[in-house]
Amino acid sequence: DAGITQSPRYKITETGRQVTLMCHQTWSHSYMFWYRQDLGHGLRLIYYSAAADITDKGEVPDGYVVSRSKTENFPLTLESATRSQTSVYFCASRSRGYEQYFGPGTRLTVT
């Protein structure tokens, strides 16, 4: 009954490589979100999804791709990683209200 999990928790990759961050939730929440958190910028929304096969851009979508074939999973892919994508990435899901609940995060370093 982990709620919302993310994997990997830590990742180091090289510039230009593709990397996928996984997010899984067991609550059957319809809405899921991806954020990045950087010093000086706070939490910024990358993409979100209202349901399986429905996704939409957030504030900073460039360089990222998402998919949602199943309600419980919402992977985030960096197609060609850049150093500016070094960040902490959080996945979240939304309950019936507007409250969002966050996963533990993935710390990504692009060298």
Partner 1 sequence: QKEVEQNSGPLSVPEGAIASLNCTYSDRGSQSFFWYRQYSGKSPELIMFIYSNGDKEDGRFTAQLNKASQYVSLLIRDSQPSDSATYLCAVNKGGTSGSRLTFGEGTQLTVNP
- Binding residues for partner 1 (CB under 8 A): 31, 33, 40-45, 48, 50, 58, 90, 94, 97-105
CA dist 56 and 26 (Å) reads: 22
Q: Would you say the C-alpha torsion 39, 16, 59, 21 has a positive or negative sign?
A: negative
Which one, 80 or 95, has the nearer CB to partner 1?
Answer: 95
Pick the closest to residue 94 from 1, 3, 22 (CA basis). Answer: 3
Which one, 33 or 64, has the nearer CB to partner 1?
Answer: 33
Which one, 85 or 100, has the nearer CB to partner 1?
Answer: 100
CA dist 65 and 91 (Å) reads: 14
Report, in Å, the least distance between residue 61 CB and partner 1. 13
> Residue 67, SS3?
coil
Which one, 1 or 97, has the nearer CB to partner 1?
Answer: 97
Report, in Å, the least distance between residue 16 CB and partner 1. 28
Q: For tokens 């959080």, what's the residue?
A: 90
CA dist 69 and 63 (Å) reads: 20
